[in-house]
Structure 1
Amino acid sequence: MDYQSTLFEAPVADGLSLAGLTRRELGQGAWVDVARTWLPEADDVFATLAREVPWRAEKRQMYDRLVDVPRLVHTYMVDEPLPHPVLERAREALSDHYLPELLERFRTAGCCYYRDGRDSVAWHGDTIGRGSTHDTMVAIVSVGDPRRLQLRPRGGGESVSVEMGHGDLLVMGGSCQRTWEHAVPKVAAAGPRISVQFRPFGVF
């Protein structure tokens, strides 16, 4: 593998404790939580996802032509088994922890495979569905090479950058999907990275 794996992962109770989360208030009711090296067995999770997820390439309309979406994708819908047991446990741990704020459980898992530095995702918010009108959460687990997630207020303003490393967790909450946008920009060089985005039902 091309990425730098963690030689010594910090010991965590049951591997999925959320006691070490740090929250950053972004303004306008938006916030992000971050936990470093949160996911246990991150090397094995990466290898399993790369091998077993039925990745597909998508195309999108760009003016008068169809262009390739610069990443591979797949979504596990409600009640579909996830390809690694650690991800099942992660979804349950996140659901239990955030239930008092979110008032519902994480139900789906979208997967993105960034094969190298040329793969990216443009500025957007997850505003298809209830995210366009209601506060919600999107929890992102990253495995593989570190990549930078950028956030900026809709309509302009100072951006925030968070580097997501191997096994890191980032949760976008509150009004984040409506009042902020996020992106993973292209970089000159990077190894493969896979992100898993846990969402409540009806948020895309």
Structure 2
Amino acid sequence: MASTTKQLGLLSKQTHVLNLEDADIRYTPEFYSTEVANTLFDVLLNETDWQQDTVRVFGKKHLAPRLSRWVGDPGLRYAYSGLTMETVPWTDTLLAIRADAEGACGASFNSVLLNFYRDGRDSNGWHSDDEPELGGQPQIASLSFGAARDFRLRHKTDPQLKYTLALENGSLLFMCGPTQANWQHHIPKRANAGPRINLTFRSIVE
């Protein structure tokens, strides 16, 4: 797939800054047009060698409630939930999306985690993207394709601070600064939800 913004159909839409304490989060609901987002969903679905990982939660091993794939520069490793992942090579599609995300966020990314939520039964538990490999203030660019799903946030020390945002088809969510140190997020189950693919670009510090 071509790597230019024009050919990917990037839209210049308003970015919303979430008014949350101890966080820097920005949301662009129509980062890609619906037509382009739908095309990217189909391409990513078919070109990705999806796998279901086994993760460790509270000391017990479970099959992750979603399919995933880790893509990035050669030799990178990333560990979370008792799982160590090694990257597979970039595709032209992912390189093109990465270029758009880097341009919009003013950041550089050397890897991306792809998650495929097959339906509303698939989910992602409470967590922060705060592994040591991501550095002191991780920069995470999250792009969503397919069905909208709720993205819930909660403050780590103040239980009164909560926020829910629907991540729409073709949207970009950028989390940076102190966000991961102070907040957790998750994707809850949702009845009757359709399939969704999420890409979270990040940079592993070697």
| TM-score normalised over the length of structure 1 | 0.80
Amino acid corresponding to residue 81 of structure 1 in structure 2: W
The alpha carbon displacement at 1:19 in A equals: 5.7
Q: What is the root-mean-square deviation of aligned Cα atoms in Å?
A: 2.2
The alpha carbon displacement at 1:71 in A equals: 0.3
Residue equivalent to 1:9: none
Per-residue CA deviation, residues 2-54 of structure 1 (Å, 9 max, x unaligned), is xxxxxxxxxxx8333556212123112x1211111212411111111111111
17-26 vs 140-149, greater mean Cα deviation: 17-26
Mapping of 1:1-204 within 5 angstroms? 14=6, 15-16=9-10, 20-28=14-22, 30-40=23-33, 41-62=36-57, 65-78=60-73, 80-82=89-91, 84=93, 87-99=94-106, 102=107, 105-131=108-134, 134-155=136-157, 156-202=159-205
Amino acid corresponding to residue 148 of structure 2 in structure 1: P
For structure 1, list consecutive stretches of 5 or more residues without a partner in the other structure: 1-12
Supply the distance in 2 between the matched residues of 1:106 and 1:18 (Cα, whole angstroms): 21
Supply the distance in 2 between the matched residues of 1:135 and 1:63 (Cα, whole angstroms): 26
Amino acid corresponding to residue 60 of structure 1 in structure 2: V
Supply the distance in 2 between the matched residues of 1:81 and 1:57 (Cα, whole angstroms): 19
The DSSP-based 3-state class of the residue aligned with 2:40 is helix
Supply the distance in 2 between the matched residues of 1:97 and 1:42 (Cα, whole angstroms): 16
Per-residue CA deviation, residues 65-119 of structure 1 (Å, 9 max, x unaligned), is 53211000001112632352xx4233223323433xx5xx111111000001110
The alpha carbon displacement at 1:173 in A equals: 1.4
Supply the distance in 1 between the matched residues of 2:204 and 2:58 (Cα, whole angstroms): 31
The DSSP-based 3-state class of the residue aligned with 1:177 is helix
Amino acid corresponding to residue 183 of structure 1 in structure 2: H
| TM-score normalised over the length of structure 2 | 0.80
Supply the distance in 1 between the matched residues of 2:197 and 2:112 (Cα, whole angstroms): 12
For structure 2, list consecutive stretches of 5 or more residues without a partner in the other structure: 75-88
Q: How many residues end up aligned between the 2 structures?
A: 183
Amino acid corresponding to residue 157 of structure 1 in structure 2: Q
Supply the distance in 2 between the matched residues of 1:97 and 1:120 (Cα, whole angstroms): 27
